[in-house]
Structure 1
Amino acid sequence: MKHLPTTLLLSTLAITLSAQAHNLVPAPKQTQSVLIKNATVHTVIQGVLTNTDVLIENGKISALGPQLSTNTTASTQVVDASGKHLYPGLIALDTSLGLVEIEMVRPTVDNAEVGDVNPQISAASAYNPDSELLPTIRYNGITHAQIVPSGDGLAGQSVVVDLDAWTIEDALQPNEGQFHVYWPQIKRMPEDEKEKAKAIEKNQQAIDKLITAFEDGYRYFLSQNAQDTDNWPNLRWQAMLPLYQGKATLFAHADSVSQIEQVIALTKKYQFKLVIVGGYDAWRLASSLREVNASVIYPHTLSLPKRKDEPVDLPFKIPSLLANAGIPYALGFSSDWNSRNLPYAAGYSAAYGVTPEQALKSVTLDAAKLLGIADLGAIAVGYQGSVVLSDGDILDPMSSKIDAIWIEGRQIDLNNRHQQLYQKYLKR
């Protein structure tokens, strides 16, 4: 194999590294009160309030109402939002942001670990807060994201971050543990009978391996409860203890009826707190999901049907089917770059059966509740001052125009790679 010239290697490395970091400076911690006046406020909790003021102090919403006083401090930043809409920051679920930079450049992809039983792995260890993707994502009103490891089997633990920070420690949002399992499935059934039998057998082996892993973790949990002094720590099963203690949630990636039924059976056995990620067929199993108090992250709103004989608009309608079935759900967008389309996926769900208020709630408050974060996803006193000011409907790509974003009261720089390229080629 021929060796590349040193200069070419260095150039390639420089290009790769430059593609992994943006040059925007994260906003400093809020020191100046922010008073947003005369906005149409989409509170999510109290409906839509017109000509309403919102005061943000020390990273939290401290007051909400008409004609709030501007004399809170001499240095209060007053923003005239007349004719504009104020929304809670949107929350992107099931993303690989900060783990994947350029999908076709392997050194910039760090979203999965080797092996299929890795409960000890956390997405926090690989998250890049300088990712070039983040400024573009938040330009669509997304202030927070769930960063999820990919893989087969037990892939690891996700974290929740805000999208403007120097380090992962600064970005992390406190929440309970989130363990992700990708339930095995046969992606495409072979037509040949022998190959079909092999595929079924291989899939069953993968399921058996997962069931064994969960049982091993449970036995380790029991030994810890018994304070077995002879038991040596095992990193895998030690990491899973919060799951068996009821202090963490199992996020099971499953779409089909059979997958979801198997996950429900597992949940019943160990009394896990359960969230189904995918949930294409979840509405068909409403009573079973309600029985185990499961929620759903539905990421397929802009997808095509999974079966040839289904209506072409079924994926668009599933959020309304989940709502009608009484299943708590939030919308996700399983991607890196494309997670910026989350608000438009929510808008699509509003066009196909849910109310605009429910559509907004599915990417704000419902998402925060599903993640176990109590002070995010709404505009109300005591909630985080993470809000988005828009000229139009944030769920409508034709009218949405983001004017300003605050994350915990810090005003965020809206510059991004897309804007930079637009300005560059506008002058060509």
Structure 2
Amino acid sequence: MNIIQRTLLLTILSACSCAAVAHDMAPAAKPQGATLLKNATVHTVLNGTLSHTDLLLEQGKIKTIGSNLSAAEARVIDLTGKHIYPGLIALDTTLGLTEISMVRSSNDTSDIGDDNPQLLAAAAYNPDSELLPTVRANGITHAQSTPRGDGLAGQSLLVNLDAWTIEDATHTATGQYHLYWPELPTVYADKARTEKAAEAYQQAVKRIKQHFNAAYRYQLGSASKQHQKEDIRWQALMPLFKGHGKLFVHADQQQAIEEAAALARQYQLPLVIVGGYDAWRLAEVLNEQHAAVIYTHCLDLPARPDEPIGQAFKIPGLLKKVGIPFAIGFSGDWDSRNLPLAAAQTVAWGLTQEEALKAITYDAAQIVGATGLGAIAEGYDASLVVSDGDILDPMTSKIEALYIDGRQIDLNNRHRQLYQKYLKR
């Protein structure tokens, strides 16, 4: 095969592979007129649970909540015996950035280097991903699409999971900067190896501090209108230093969180800790800085051999007890559909059912700066889940309908198609 033939074959195979990962569920059209959902149990998140309640949806918003509502020419849906919840919000996912994690051409989660604050998840997001319909089927309407990497990895955005383009999908896209704090050095039996690991850790932390110092000096130079060579990395960080964003630091261990908090305090940066296994131990430090936590270990084993088996499960309850604002996340891509199960796990370990639901809806929306989302209230986005049974109970919950901005979404997906296929075997 000559070079031209080989190039043509690779081009065809690449095009076929892209088509193979595009789902065939067309995004829902905007609703024509109003929709009236009647007689449901409504879990408002902010104002308790309302029985036998109606919701009137108009122009993508929740217009009215009450009993015995009526609206001329509205499409009426009787939901007697059903539950309505706010759409779930999955934080710290790579949805839309990866299709098959082991296939490099379908994995756009990271780039080379440890100083890439200019990279935007929006530039790589694929609204046609096969993973999105499978996640929607578990009640997730929105997700934070998050870059991975070392050091400053880039900027995430909050998207709705039913859209033709990234412009249609984007809900909140500004000021979500992600910093991956280096792993603390392991203590080995070999002293020389331990010292080498400690030195590598210190060098990695030193590089992070150098990057923030360079970015801060660049911002000062720009403010004073001094002539300087443009640097797209530090240019991208300028909104953060001006208070128009948040620094999401991925860290779990106490020392790492303390060092990250000190860096944020030095430059007066709004801070969110992602992971946050030891965050509850640092309540004074984090509360002083009005920091929040996206806790991502609800279904994990203990991090240390001397911890009780349920340690990871009860940390959200500990965060609540010490007053640290938090949301529950589930790091991953297709497996982020386990978000309601992760939240449910915390109910037996310190949170109430209402608090667990709030941690994957309203609290999640607040942390990423999404207004009018995550609760059922008048004027909020009509992003809702209709379930037969408790959405936090995977044994009894059955998602029957999903609405994003008032649009009823197709719940078909690749998993359901395969299920129906092999029923015929």
Deviation at 1:242, TM superposition (A): 0.8
Mapped to 1, the partners of 2:33 and 2:327 lie a distance apart of 33
Mapped to 1, the partners of 2:173 and 2:10 lie a distance apart of 42
Question: Residues 355-374 of structure 1: matches in 2 within 5 Å?
Answer: 355-374=352-371
Residue 182 of structure 2 is aligned to residue 184 of structure 1: yes
Mapped to 2, the partners of 1:178 and 1:189 lie a distance apart of 34
Total equivalences in the alignment: 424
Mapped to 2, the partners of 1:105 and 1:20 lie a distance apart of 12
**Residue matched to 2:386:** 389
Mapped to 2, the partners of 1:352 and 1:174 lie a distance apart of 32
TM-score, normalisation: structure 2: 0.97
Check the 8 A contact 2:185/2:197 in 1, yes or no.
no
**Residue matched to 1:318:** 315
SS in 1 for 2:272: strand
Gap runs ≥5 in structure 1: none
Label 1:420 to 1:187 Cα distance change in 2 as closer, same or farther (>3 A). Answer: farther
Check the 8 A contact 1:85/1:389 in 2, yes or no.
yes
**Residue matched to 1:337:** 334
SS in 2 for 1:24: coil
**Residue matched to 2:56:** 55
**Residue matched to 1:197:** 195
Structure 1: which amino acid aligns with 2:407?
R
Mapped to 2, the partners of 1:215 and 1:49 lie a distance apart of 52
Mapped to 1, the partners of 2:42 and 2:126 lie a distance apart of 33
Deviation at 1:12, TM superposition (A): 5.3
**Residue matched to 2:133:** 135
Mapped to 1, the partners of 2:41 and 2:7 lie a distance apart of 58
Mapped to 1, the partners of 2:305 and 2:366 lie a distance apart of 35
| Percent identity for Structure 1 against Structure 2 | 56
- Selected match of 1:414 from 404, 411, 415: 411
Residue 77 of structure 2 is aligned to residue 79 of structure 1: yes
Residue 278 of structure 2 is aligned to residue 277 of structure 1: no
Structure 1 stretch displaced more, 18-27 or 331-340? 18-27
Structure 1 stretch displaced more, 345-354 or 144-153? 345-354
Check the 8 A contact 1:88/1:378 in 2, yes or no.
yes
Residue 350 of structure 2 is aligned to residue 353 of structure 1: yes
TM-score, normalisation: structure 1: 0.96
Mapped to 2, the partners of 1:334 and 1:187 lie a distance apart of 23
Check the 8 A contact 2:156/2:173 in 1, yes or no.
no
**Residue matched to 1:208:** 206
**Residue matched to 1:265:** 262
Label 1:130 to 1:61 Cα distance change in 2 as closer, same or farther (>3 A). Answer: same
Mapped to 2, the partners of 1:5 and 1:273 lie a distance apart of 51
Check the 8 A contact 1:175/1:372 in 2, yes or no.
no
Mapped to 2, the partners of 1:376 and 1:415 lie a distance apart of 24
Structure 1: which amino acid aligns with 2:424?
K
Mapped to 1, the partners of 2:387 and 2:173 lie a distance apart of 29
Residue 256 of structure 2 is aligned to residue 253 of structure 1: no
Deviation at 1:77, TM superposition (A): 1.4
Check the 8 A contact 1:175/1:371 in 2, yes or no.
no
SS in 1 for 2:171: coil
Check the 8 A contact 1:30/1:408 in 2, yes or no.
no
Mapped to 2, the partners of 1:186 and 1:414 lie a distance apart of 43
Deviation at 1:297, TM superposition (A): 0.1
Mapped to 2, the partners of 1:226 and 1:369 lie a distance apart of 34
Label 1:110 to 1:257 Cα distance change in 2 as closer, same or farther (>3 A). Answer: same
Check the 8 A contact 1:19/1:101 in 2, yes or no.
no
Once the two structures are superposed, residues 62-94 of structure 1 have per-residue CA deviations (whole angstroms, 9 ceiling, x without a partner) of: 0001111132xx2x2111110000000000000
**Residue matched to 1:37:** 38
Mapped to 2, the partners of 1:32 and 1:414 lie a distance apart of 22
